[in-house]
A and B are shown apart, each in its own frame.
Chain A
Amino acid sequence: MGKNLTGKTVFIVAVLVVFLYGIFGIPHGGLKQSVLNRIHLGLDLKGGTHLVLEVHVAEAVGSETDRDVARLEADLQKAGVTGATVGKLDPTGAPAKITISGVPTNKVSDARGVFTGNDYAAYDIATNADGSTSMTMKLGAIRDLGIRTLDTSIETIRERIDKLGVAEPVIQKYGLGENQILVELPGVEDPGRVEEIIQSTAKLSIHAVIGTPYESEQAALTANAGVIPPDAMLMHGSVSAGSPDQVWLLKRVSEVEGTDFRDAQPSTDQNGRPNIHFTLTTEAGDRFYKYTSEHSQSSATPGSMAILLDNKVREVASIQSAIRDSGEITGAFTKPQAEDLSLMLRTGALPASISYLETRTVGPSLGAASIRQGVYAAIAGMAAVMLFMLVYYKGAGINADLALMLNLLILLGFMGFSGATLTLPGIAGVILTIGMGVDSNVLIFERIREEMRSGKTAAAAVQQGFGHAWITIVDTHVTTIVSAAILFLFGTGPVKGFAVTLVFGLLANLFTAVFVSRTIFDAILAKKERGAALSI
């Protein structure tokens, strides 16, 4: 027995050291600091903001098909097919469906050639009863677009938040729903400011303005004989602070999307007014040149363009001259507005707009108070339990208390090694583990007492005690671990933290209550005479 015992003891001490390392790392800067370096605190303990956003992926589908409408028109022209109308019959209800009608009968095959070209591989082509052709985006393509939109949104938000210097933000897909993003910002406690920051990654596009602004949608409708043409849309907005809300008639297809900007910097024009100097990508530059030369102030059809931010008109600027890929946006900007807008353009705009689904903020004082109270409760609970075990089980009580302390160290060590987050319910989980952990000891000790009462020797009683109790211990631990696993899968942040500490605690307990306690008993029995009583 001797060699075995030494081996086991060495093993236990090794485990202790390893898990101490897990908690403290190589301590420098004081113990408390070392612990905080290793164990991540959740937002509810650190203070910060948790946001869940939904990305309106359907809008991306709409924008993409809008662009394809414009491209189709151009391609049909190039193929010599004139007189055809390309458009979406139902832009809101069926955003992925383009209808082409009015193709002259002698050009049908040329048109077909355009439709089936590589550029439109994402579409299913069908001929309608009235001779027009419908192109509907394939479901697979829509899904891919959705995924791409979500990924791009995550990247854009991440860049934006990086530039604002929030430490250790978390930005990732949110498992609970479709097209949702989770953003966690430690240390940021003002949800209003945060939402502004993220809102600033909203969807941006530039559209051609048709006519002059109207006072209301009603006025716009009457001015256009009650019908808005399918290639145009009405948008609200107010161009400067304090000016009333107006309605503009804009061309539906945008001239420039947020993704077309390569750079944007705030600057001032020759009169000292703030403006924005921008650069577009080459491809966008070509498109933009065509548009602006057709509508500059010096052309036959001068026009203005509207900057749409999150489906609201933000600025309306006149086109001074033809712009290729670099130019200025002049409008009634204030300096901060110019800076904000440049930042948005620079870091890229979201491909679709977002809305907030859930916001949770915890202030740092509440977080610190929670930690303090949680730790008090843990110490009080542990002290009560340890005292009771000592009084009730005497010598064996010391055994149980040692196992309990080791249990706690291993649990915290697991947390340190795995990088799991400690939340407030997680602290409660630690406290619960203390209570449930000592249950295993009680089970074993009661069995040992029973065996000794029926006349067995100390050594035999210990053997029987551990042997019989083992199955029940496994049973109870497995049921609780399964329970915790379900909580982990279905819970949100704080609840996940609870499940994690519970599982770690129970696993640690399986080790300490059985292996460690047994070793301590064996060590004590080895020193005693055969047949001597056991302090239990």
Chain B
Amino acid sequence: MELFRSTSIDWLGKKWYFLGFSLIFSVAGLLSIAFWHYIPLGVDFKGGTQVRVAFAQTPNEEHIRAAFDKAGVHDARIQRVSDPSGNAANKVIISLPQATAADNAHDAGREGVEGALKSNYKDSAFTIEQVDIVGPTAGKQLQKQAVWATVYSLVGMLIYLWFRFELIYGVAAVVAVFHDTLITVGAFSLTNQEITLTVIAAILTLIGYSMNDTVVVFDRIRENLALSRRESLSDVVNRSINQTLSRTVLSSGLTFLTVVSLYLFGGEVLHGFSFALVIGILIGTYSSIAVAAPMLVAYQDWRGARGKRASLPAAKKVRT
């Protein structure tokens, strides 16, 4: 059984469609980040208290809020836990802002929540399953760590690609990766899901994955460029993509299968993490073909239009 025997799709010809598609999602994400949900940060970065409570019966959010108000716990955000497998139907996540986790009254928020529920919520019994309290010092530290990890990752990738290929390949790959990250973070903003440390880990992983995918295509482009001196760059790139299409779709498809399995069955705690991977794998594969490759050609054409020597070994496009 073979799905992609010998395709010969003109990928570069479709680049405007790709650009349009990417723009729609990028802009939607950006708009949401700027105006709608902003970037929803988890307690790891925002600081504060987060308590995951499991109720014996379906929780009534109105009553929960009333219970809090009665006990003087204000500014609580109450969210139902989303979990595709349905296991977390009666669970609620209660978030309190940073002020409740000050360095000298660290436990105040959690005590407040527990006390309020114990004394004022009468609908059903409950257990506290998970508590996260992040003080302002710790929050800042974790933010710094996340930023440094991302920066180092990207710089590392760039250097590695510069080593293995030429700078333009590295830049094209990094642009593709930025595109992926933007759309993923935009997706989180659009669906109002929190970005926690594990989500950052997922994003860094998908950066690696997207890079992989791009490298496979670039490897083939380089191989073909060395073999044929008569074709234009566009033709070589198109051919390379078609040749690697089988591998790309299959491999992404299989990884996507495992990640979807994680999303559907992996449970509520990994929910954000698996969501990032699901989006990331799709977009990562797409970007190698739709963003990185066209960028290579575009840069080449740009240099050609300015009269500079072509930096990639390929003959100029034969005009007929």
Contact = CB atoms under 8 A, between A and B. Distances in A.
Answer whether A and B are interacting partners. yes
A370 B268 CA distance: 8
B201 A425 contact: yes
Contacts of B197: 491-492, 494-495
Interface residues of A, number: 72
A381 B262 contact: yes
B141 A384 contact: no
- Majority SS of interface residues in chain B? helix
Nearest to B131: A361
Contacts of A385: 254, 257-258
B216 A472 contact: yes
A483 B207 contact: yes
Interface string B109-137: 01100000000000000011111111101
Contacts of A365: 54, 127, 129
Interface stretch (A14-22, A69-77, A432-440): A432-440
B201 A498 contact: yes
A432 B205 contact: yes
A155 B191 CA distance: 47
Contact of B128 (A363, A381, A446, A484): A363
Interface string B271-296: 00110010000000000000000000
B208 A380 contact: no
B127 A490 contact: no
Contact of A498 (B104, B145, B198): B198
B62 interface: no
A500 to B, nearest CB: 12
Interface string A336-352: 00000000000000000
Size bracket of the B interface:
35 or more
B212 A479 contact: yes
Contacts of B85: 373
A34 interface: no
A84 interface: no
Interface in A466-521: 471-472, 475-476, 478-480, 482-484, 486-487, 489-492, 494-495, 498-499, 502
A398 interface: no
Interface of B: 1-2, 52, 54, 85, 87, 103-104, 106-107, 110-111, 127-135, 137-138, 141-142, 145-146, 148-149, 152-153, 156-157, 160, 164, 197-198, 200-201, 204-205, 207-209, 211-212, 215-216, 219, 243, 246-247, 250-251, 254-259, 261-262, 264-267, 269-270, 273-274, 277
A258 to B, nearest CB: 21
- Majority SS of interface residues in chain A? helix
A518 to B, nearest CB: 18
Contact of B149 (A392, A394, A446, A486): A486
Contact of B258 (A434, A482, A489): A434
Given A192-B110, A358-B133, A483-B204, 4 more contacts: A370-B270, A439-B254, A476-B216, A483-B205
Contacts of B52: 366
Contacts of B209: 436, 480
Given A191-B107, A431-B258, A491-B201, A439 B264 contact: no
Contact of A355 (B106, B256, B273): B106
B277 A432 contact: yes
B139 to A, nearest CB: 8
5 contacts: A355-B104, A384-B261, A475-B164, A483-B208, A486-B149
Contacts of A195: 106-107
A108 B51 CA distance: 64
Contact of A370 (B142, B216, B269): B269
